[in-house]
């Protein structure tokens, strides 16, 4: 495993697994979407609107999972100062923001017909909005600090501070009286939803996770190549100035 | 489908657009950086990655 922590070996690994990951993601989405629209029943209370949940729940799961991934990469940056850890963290942030945005938008589109409102400032919705803002803040941080080492350490610190928001999001529906429904899949005592809805939901969650893995590997590859380009450009400029002097 | 089909369609369409933007941005970035790297002849040397 450690040999893939080398950027060159990592690029070789990406080239090897990317076609398989892409194919698996497409198959999982095809199966998941078919089950969502043709197998999963309408809910007795929500009606057909429950189909939005097959997007909303996987996006919500990914918004937390991606941040957890970034927190582990942040530890890799701060403790071992490994460049691949920083690249992984930086590459994950826009994806985290994207999936959190999907979570917020689909939640809002479900909330309007079910709750009668697009948005309420309850604990779950507000804490997820804060997570989205943290993702944007991290992306801005990498853009504003020119020195890559300093940017990596600052972003790693901010990421680890932001981890406190994850249990708040998860347990907000238990700790506070909120409009958002309590956990029905990832909970002590097992899921409370019927298997006819649980299976399509899990397939969609798996498809979304594989989509993230695929995009994350592609984005890390880009980040490695950007760093290589930056270094080669600096070397070329240095050689040119030495030739002139 | 139901009187909420507009909300369902909007949710799936917007999610598809956001995912397409993420994929497009990554692919576009990859093509750009590969093009920029092609100016350097030794870009595929494994030793260049030991940063």
Residue B5 belongs to some domain of the structure: no
Determine, for residues A55 and B11 on separate chains, whether the beta-carbon distance falls below 8 Å. Answer: yes
Residue B25 belongs to some domain of the structure: yes
Q: Which of residues 139-198 of A touch B (CB under 8 A)?
A: none
The shortest C-alpha distance from B35 to chain A (Å) reads 10
pLDDT score, position A1:
54
Please state, for a pLDDT cut of 90, what percent of chain A lies above it: 67
| Contact with chain B for residue A105, Cβ under 8 A | yes
Residues recorded for chain B: 51
Domain ranges of chain A: 21-183+192-229
Determine, for residues A222 and B30 on separate chains, whether the beta-carbon distance falls below 8 Å. Answer: yes
Contact by Cβ (8 Å): A162, A168: no
Residue B23 belongs to some domain of the structure: yes
How many independent structural domains does chain B possess?
1
Determine, for residues B51 and A232 on separate chains, whether the beta-carbon distance falls below 8 Å. Answer: no
**Among A169, A30, A153, A31, residue whose Cα is nearest residue A90:** A153
| Mean pLDDT of all residues in B1-15 | 87
Between A134 and A148, the more confident residue is A134
pLDDT score, position B46:
45
* Average of per-residue pLDDT values in chain A: 90
Residue B2 belongs to some domain of the structure: no
**Among A151, A5, A132, A126, residue whose Cα is nearest residue A67:** A132
Measured CA distances, A241 to A95, A211, A234, A236, B40 (Å)? 39, 45, 11, 9, 17
Determine, for residues A113 and B11 on separate chains, whether the beta-carbon distance falls below 8 Å. Answer: no
Sign for the pseudo-dihedral over CA of A64, A70, A76, A78:
negative
Distance CA A192, CA A200 (A): 15
A47: β partners: A43
Residue B24 belongs to some domain of the structure: yes
Tell me, what DSSP letter sits at residue A181? P
- Token reading at A187: 């909970």
**Among A33, A88, A73, residue whose Cα is nearest residue A212:** A88
**Among A11, A142, A39, A98, residue whose Cα is nearest residue B49:** A11
Distance CA A34, CA A234 (A): 51
User: How do residues A27-66 score in pLDDT, each as one tens digit?
Assistant: 999 999 999 999 988 888 788 889 999 999 999 999 999 9
Q: Which residue range forms the structural domain that includes residue B16?
A: 10-36
- Token reading at A172: 């907000």
**Burial status of residue B31 (CB atoms within 10 A of its CB: 0-12, 13-18, 19 or more):** exposed
Measured CA distances, A220 to A27, A40, A91, A126, A243 (Å)? 23, 36, 5, 30, 35
Contact by Cβ (8 Å): A131, A100: yes
User: How do residues A184-232 score in pLDDT, each as one tens digit?
Assistant: 766 666 777 888 889 999 999 999 999 999 999 999 999 999 999 998 9
pLDDT score, position A27:
98
Residue B21 belongs to some domain of the structure: yes
């Amino acid at each position: 495993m450690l040999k893939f922590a080398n950027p060159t070996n990592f690029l070789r690994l990406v080239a090897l697994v990317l076609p398989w990951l892409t194919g698996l993601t497409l198959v999982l989405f095809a199966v998941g979407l078919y089950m969502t629209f043709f197998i999963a029943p309408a809910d007795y209370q929500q009606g057909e609107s429950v189909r939005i949940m097959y997007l909303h729940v996987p996006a919500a799961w990914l918004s937390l999972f991606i941040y957890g991934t970034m927190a582990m990469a942040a530890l890799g940056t701060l403790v071992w100062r490994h460049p691949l850890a920083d690249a992984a963290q930086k590459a994950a942030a826009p994806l985290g923001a994207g999936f959190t945005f999907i979570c917020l938008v689909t939640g809002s589109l479900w909330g309007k017909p079910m709750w009668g409102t697009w948005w309420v400032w309850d604990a779950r919705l507000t804490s997820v909005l804060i997570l989205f803002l943290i993702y944007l803040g991290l992306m801005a941080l990498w853009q504003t600090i020119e020195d890559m080492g300093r940017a990596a350490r600052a972003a790693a610190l901010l990421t680890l501070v932001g981890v406190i928001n994850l249990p708040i999001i998860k347990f907000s529906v238990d700790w506070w009286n909120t409009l958002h429904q309590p956990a029905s899949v990832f909970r002590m005592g097992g899921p409370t939803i019927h298997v006819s809805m649980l299976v399509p939901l899990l397939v969609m969650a798996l498809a979304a996770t594989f989509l993230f893995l695929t995009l994350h590997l592609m984005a890390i590859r880009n980040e490695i190549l950007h760093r290589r380009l930056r270094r080669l450009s600096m070397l070329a400029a240095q050689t040119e100035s030495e030739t002139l002097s | 489908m139901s009187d909420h089909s507009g909300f369902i369609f909007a949710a799936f369409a917007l999610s598809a657009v956001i995912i397409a933007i993420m994929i497009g941005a990554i692919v576009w970035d990859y093509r750009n950086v590969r093009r920029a790297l092609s100016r350097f002849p030794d870009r595929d040397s494994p030793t260049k990655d030991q940063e």
